[in-house]
Structure 1
Amino acid sequence: MGLRPAERVADFLTMVDIDALLATYDSQMRMPPGAVPTGMTYEHDGPVLRVVGGHTGRVRAPRDVGVSGEALDRLIVRQVDYFQARGEGVEWKVRGHDLPADLPERLVAAGFVAQDESAVLIGFADEVAAEPVLPDGVALRRVSEAGDLRRIADHQTEVWGFDVSWVEGHLAAQVSADPEQITILAAEAGGRFVCTAWSIYHPGTDFVALLGGTTLPAWRGRGLYRAMIAARAREAVARGFRLLHVDASPDSAPILRRHGFHQITTATHYQRVKDGAGRG
């Protein structure tokens, strides 16, 4: 899905080359670079990459999968069968400009269900970096210990209203594989985590991915999400990374746009649960 004309005009007026940003994203952010998280493996099947060993199976692909029709159907079914044999579901991430254009329809025909669409936003780290401004009584700290990672998973589960306890193991696997490839931040007040977020640094690319930004409802509108953006952008600059990437929800996207992020495309996760499991 492309940008609306008004969005294209707005970015033209600020002299941002959206097509160049999209090309850089496609060349650098399609396959996960860097250390493989502990306990996980990456397996290639033709044009796609299977991410194995996480809380669910994942499939990542280039912009153009390079097959169509029945060959594409067979590729999709192979991924389903592979993860079903492991007793797992699978998620396939599709961007709005991916090819072939009927990939989403073929995923749905194979039993995948589209999740909510995200805006893929890119920001220039040196334009976003700033000293984080925190509300009174809030301390921001970097965390990596098991107890804190458990608290982050509990915090995110509370905010989202469904079980994301897997976040604890996911973050721990990233830290174990390479602690320099991830920064995990927690804003704390009164002994509670009120906002949490993390960054993944993609070695050999221009990108840092900003993930997990989640704030307790009672603390929203007080600048915590903006502080997390500023802090992570500042560290990205310090480490020599040029670009910030976010798959943003409808709640987060307006904040990010106000801070200079630009939409380049959309992203939708198509999920297929394991056989016999219900869909939420």
Structure 2
Amino acid sequence: MTTSPSDPAVLLRAYDEQLRQEAEVPSAITVDRLGPLVLATYLGGRGFITYRTLDVDGTPASEESVRQLVEQALAHYEAMPEIDRVEWKTRGHDHAPGLHDALVSHGFVPDEPESIMIGEARLLAVDVELPEGVAVRRVTDEDEVRAMTAMQGEVFGDEPAELQGMVEQLLHRLRTRDDMEMWVAEHDGRIVSAGRLEPVEGTEFAGIWGGSTLPDYRGKGIYRALTAARARSAMGHGKRYINSDSTEFSRPILERSGFVKVSTTTPYEWRRTG
């Protein structure tokens, strides 16, 4: 039996094999391992936990082993006073018995789930007519990156400290690596939509992240045009697939282009108190 390149099982397997663990943390300042876990730290006081499996040394995960991993990972960050918040990234298709209860009982709070969307880049690389006065372009200047991040923070409702941390992370990566692109749509010089493109080295994938559009500019094709520009750039990097953790604003746009929801992802966040 042959499989289609849009078969959710095929795409999910490629996602798990190519896009998890160290491939997720190219912007990290430090990366440590704790059994199956990848523990990363970032500028701005942020920690991040990810993994491909919660099995330990070939033994399937159990509620007890998962609870121990949560305790040990949290202790790792609690011993780092510069870290004031930690995200544990979960996926809906993982074998993770008792993970929700273990995280919540240790102070992690779940955010809204997002859809893991995957499809071929060519499906997005289409011509989109923009409203008059709107243009899409790539930005690299530090002031433009700050303006872009401020607009995204306005859309997502980020707190000032979180927004500053994100700016520091993005600028650090732009200064030290050449594997991320920042794209914006402008209306008469004002940034109204924005997003990143991150080609993943050694894989068939490029990720599109941070997609956001000001409310007054939604439903006009602007985000589709921004996504098309990023998809064309991804193809220029030799990438076949695009992946995105999508909110309910962007998921329908990708689905209409032929993208497939392969799973869900829910971030759980711990914040240092006192």
Counterpart CA distance in 2 for 1:139 and 1:20 is: 36
Aligned residue for 2:204? Answer: 206
Amino acid at match of 1:85: A
- 1:130 touches 1:230 (CA, 8 Å); kept in 2? yes
Aligned length: 262
Q: Secondary structure at the match of 2:263?
A: strand
Structure 1 residue 160, shift from structure 2 partner: 2.2
User: Quick check: 1:124 aligned with 2:126?
Assistant: no
Q: Secondary structure at the match of 1:195?
A: strand
Aligned residue for 1:228? Answer: 226
Runs of 4+ in 1 over 3 A off after TM superposition: 63-67
- 1:156 touches 1:214 (CA, 8 Å); kept in 2? yes
**Residue among 225, 248, 251 paired with 1:250:** 248
Instruction: Encode CA deviations 1:145-175: one digit per residue, 9 max, x unaligned.
Output: 2111110121112222332233211211221
Correspondence list, 1:17-36, <5 A: 17-33=7-23, 36=26
Instruction: Encode CA deviations 1:1-31: one digit per residue, 9 max, x unaligned.
Output: xxxxxxxxxxx9x883211111110011112
Aligned residue for 1:165? Answer: 164
Correspondence list, 1:51-66, <5 A: 51-55=40-44, 56-66=46-56
Counterpart CA distance in 1 for 2:68 and 2:273 is: 18
Aligned residue for 1:6? Answer: none
- 2:11 touches 2:262 (CA, 8 Å); kept in 1? yes
Counterpart CA distance in 1 for 2:5 and 2:30 is: 41
Instruction: Encode CA deviations 1:75-107: one digit per residue, 9 max, x unaligned.
Output: 211221221222322111010011223222221
Q: Secondary structure at the match of 1:176?
A: helix
Amino acid at match of 2:164: S
Q: Aligned residues: percent identity?
A: 33
Which runs of 5 or more residues in structure 1 are unaligned?
1-11
- 1:115 touches 1:268 (CA, 8 Å); kept in 2? yes
* Cα distance change, pair 132–40 in 1 and its aligned pair in 2 (3 A): farther
Amino acid at match of 2:94: D
Aligned residue for 2:95? Answer: 99
* Cα distance change, pair 194–52 in 1 and its aligned pair in 2 (3 A): same
Amino acid at match of 2:172: A
Structure 1 residue 214, shift from structure 2 partner: 0.8
**Residue among 67, 76, 84 paired with 1:82:** 76
- 1:154 touches 1:165 (CA, 8 Å); kept in 2? no
* Cα distance change, pair 194–111 in 1 and its aligned pair in 2 (3 A): same
Amino acid at match of 1:44: R
- 1:36 touches 1:177 (CA, 8 Å); kept in 2? no
Correspondence list, 1:170-189, <5 A: 170-179=169-178, 181-189=179-187
Amino acid at match of 1:60: T
Structure 1 residue 50, shift from structure 2 partner: 0.7
Structure 1 residue 35, shift from structure 2 partner: 8.5
Instruction: Encode CA deviations 1:241-261: one digit per residue, 9 max, x unaligned.
Output: 011001011111111101111
Aligned residue for 2:270? Answer: 272
**Residue among 149, 153, 170 paired with 1:153:** 149
Aligned residue for 1:259? Answer: 257
Counterpart CA distance in 2 for 1:155 and 1:30 is: 29
Aligned residue for 2:216? Answer: 218
Structure 1 residue 225, shift from structure 2 partner: 0.7
CA RMSD of aligned residues (A): 2.0
Amino acid at match of 1:165: Q
User: Quick check: 1:49 aligned with 2:38?
Assistant: yes
Amino acid at match of 1:91: E
Bigger mean CA offset, 146-155 vs 168-177: 168-177
User: What TM-score do you get using the length of structure 1 for normalisation?
Assistant: 0.87
Instruction: Encode CA deviations 1:106-148: one digit per residue, 9 max, x unaligned.
Output: 2112221111000101011122212343221112221122111
Bigger mean CA offset, 113-122 vs 140-149: 140-149
- 1:187 touches 1:196 (CA, 8 Å); kept in 2? yes
- 2:120 touches 2:241 (CA, 8 Å); kept in 1? yes
Q: Secondary structure at the match of 2:23?
A: coil
Amino acid at match of 1:219: Y
